């Protein structure tokens, strides 16, 4: 496309959103105007790129900006529609896709994207996929080293392997004897991890006991894409960063019954040198103070008797559990056809699918309720409630 402004051919939608045919790349793209920028979604020049591409044209200086694209990208489709929602995100409706792959949100100015723009110093956009219902929130488990976080999480994962999934962190620390790369951690060189941090691949990072640790956006997405509830084992600094992010989670702080017992557990684990044990115990004092800071953690658990603590953890997770997404009604035979139109009215996106281009009266209409949407990048956009009207069955 060179330095030319995107050519807007067909104004088929309200609110600055149009579908275009991009003759250079032989693919459909849509252009959405927000302020001084035009977001061109799709129509990649790169034949090897199997995902929907994003380009940004700056109207002020007449230049194309190459944005950093965060999150899992949607795979390319045979076409899509784009609808501007407020001024911070664009809804992309993929044609001929299953319900689970049809609704995507391209965030262009949400709080998460704004923060990443600041951090990276580049233009940033972030993808988030829409999921039905109020999927259960991720669980952040923090507490001083040796308190038993890993032990409690291992029990949960063993008892509920299809419900919970562990967010595998990155760390620059050396692996312990029984630790497996990719299972317990992604063991990484500091320079590699720092580069990934600069490229915006991390939800949070912290320097803990002299090493760098971090949760990548991909680690969380891998778990949620498998339909599981994500568990993060991170330190208090990490919990604070996640709290400040747009990832809505439940925060649990695990305390030892006493400092002496914590020291005993840490030593009996036998994985650290004396010098490292001393460092971890020093840090534990500060962590215990911060853990009690009001507003950071939703629940505090004392891990005295392991079985009792585990029972309490399970109770609080059940308490916070939202109705299972699979209980949400679903639309039968949902598919966005070639001939469709999209409009917004009263917080609702109306999608009219016609059987062909001529018969205006036949086909189906689907309604997406915008008022129930929450969350978003770096997680999923939850609360995607869709209903069908006229010839389509009601959910």
**Cβ closest to ligand ATP, residue 145 vs residue 241:** 145
Cβ proximity of 217 and 70 under 8 Å: yes
Residue 208 touches which member of ligand LQESDW3C, ligand ATP, none, C-beta under 5-8 Å by kind: ligand LQESDW3C
Give catalytic status of residue 382 as yes or no.
no
Which one of 21-29, 73-81, 264-272, 377-385 is the stretch in contact with ligand ATP (CB under 6 A)?
Answer: 264-272
CB of 278 to ligand ATP, least distance (A): 14
For residue 237, state whether it binds ligand LQESDW3C (rule: CB under 6 A).
Answer: yes
Query: For ligand ATP, what does the binding mask look like between residues 99 and 138, x meaning CB under 6 A?
Result: ----------------------------------------
321 DSSP 8-state letter: P
Give catalytic status of residue 243 as yes or no.
no
Cβ proximity of 126 and 217 under 8 Å: no
Give catalytic status of residue 176 as yes or no.
yes
Query: For ligand LQESDW3C, what does the binding mask look like between residues 211 and 230, x meaning CB under 6 A?
Result: --xxx---------------
Cβ proximity of 56 and 37 under 8 Å: yes
**221 Cβ partners below 8 Å, 6+ apart?**
71, 72, 378, 379
Cβ proximity of 40 and 25 under 8 Å: no
Q: Which of 145, 224, 303, 381 binds ligand LQESDW3C (CB under 6 A)?
A: 145
For residue 232, count other CB atoms closer than 10 A to its CB.
26
For residue 284, state whether it binds ligand LQESDW3C (rule: CB under 6 A).
Answer: no
Cβ proximity of 56 and 67 under 8 Å: yes
Report the site for ligand LQESDW3C in 170-209 (rule: CB under 6 A).
173, 204, 206, 208-209
Q: Which of 80, 135, 235, 354 binds ligand LQESDW3C (CB under 6 A)?
A: 235
Q: How far is CA 42 from the centre of its chain?
A: 21
Q: Could you tell me which of 322, 321, 320, 262 has the C-alpha nearest to residue 291? A: 262
Could you give the CA distance from residue 332 to residue 42 in angstroms, rounded to a whole number? 28
For residue 295, count other CB atoms closer than 10 A to its CB.
7
For residue 114, state whether it binds ligand LQESDW3C (rule: CB under 6 A).
Answer: no
- Active-site choice (95, 229, 280, 382): 280
Could you give the CA distance from residue 150 to residue 11 in angstroms, rounded to a whole number? 55
Q: Where on the chain is the footprint of ligand LQESDW3C (CB under 6 A)?
A: 145, 149, 169, 173, 204, 206, 208-209, 213-215, 233-235, 237-238
Active site residues: 176, 269, 280
């Amino acid at each position: 496309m060179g330095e030319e402004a995107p050519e807007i051919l067909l104004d088929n939608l309200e609110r600055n959103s149009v579908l275009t045919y991009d003759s250079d790349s032989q693919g459909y793209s849509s252009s959405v105007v927000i302020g001084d920028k035009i977001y061109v979604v799709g129509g990649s020049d790169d034949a090897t790129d199997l995902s929907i591409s994003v380009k940004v044209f700056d109207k002020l200086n007449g230049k194309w900006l190459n944005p950093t694209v965060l999150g899992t990208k949607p795979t390319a489709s045979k076409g899509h529609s784009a609808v501007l929602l407020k001024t911070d995100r664009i809804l992309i409706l993929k044609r001929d896709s299953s319900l689970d792959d049809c609704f995507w949100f391209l965030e262009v100015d949400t709080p998460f994207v704004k923060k990443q723009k600041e951090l990276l110093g580049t233009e940033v956009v972030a993808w988030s996929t829409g999921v039905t219902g109020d999927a259960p929130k991720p669980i952040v488990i923090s507490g001083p080293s040796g308190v038993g976080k890993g032990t409690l999480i291992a029990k949960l994962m063993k008892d509920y392997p299809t419900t919970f999934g562990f967010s595998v962190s990155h760390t620059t620390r050396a692996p312990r004897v029984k630790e497996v790369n990719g299972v317990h951690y992604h063991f990484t060189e500091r320079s590699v991890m720092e580069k990934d941090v600069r490229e915006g691949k991390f939800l949070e990072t912290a320097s803990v006991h002299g090493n760098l640790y971090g949760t990548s956006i991909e680690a969380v997405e891998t778990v949620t894409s498998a339909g599981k509830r994500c568990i993060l084992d991170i330190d208090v600094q990490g919990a604070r960063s996640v709290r400040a992010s747009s990832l809505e989670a439940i925060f649990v702080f695990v305390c030892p019954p006493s400092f002496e017992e914590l020291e005993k557990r840490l030593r009996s684990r036998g994985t650290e040198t004396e010098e490292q044990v001393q460092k971890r115990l020093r840090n534990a004092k500060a962590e215990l103070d911060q853990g009690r800071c009001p507003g950071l953690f939703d629940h505090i658990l004392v891990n005295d008797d392991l079985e009792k603590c585990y029972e309490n953890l399970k109770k609080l997770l059940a308490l916070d559990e939202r109705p299972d997404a699979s209980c949400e009604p679903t639309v039968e035979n949902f598919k966005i056809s070639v001939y469709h139109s999209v409009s917004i009215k009263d917080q609702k996106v109306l999608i009219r699918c016609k059987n062909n281009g001529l018969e205006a009266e036949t086909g189906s209409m689907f309604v997406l309720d915008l008022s129930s949407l929450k969350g978003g990048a770096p997680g999923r956009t939850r609360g995607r409630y869709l209903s069908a009207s006229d010839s389509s069955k009601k959910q």
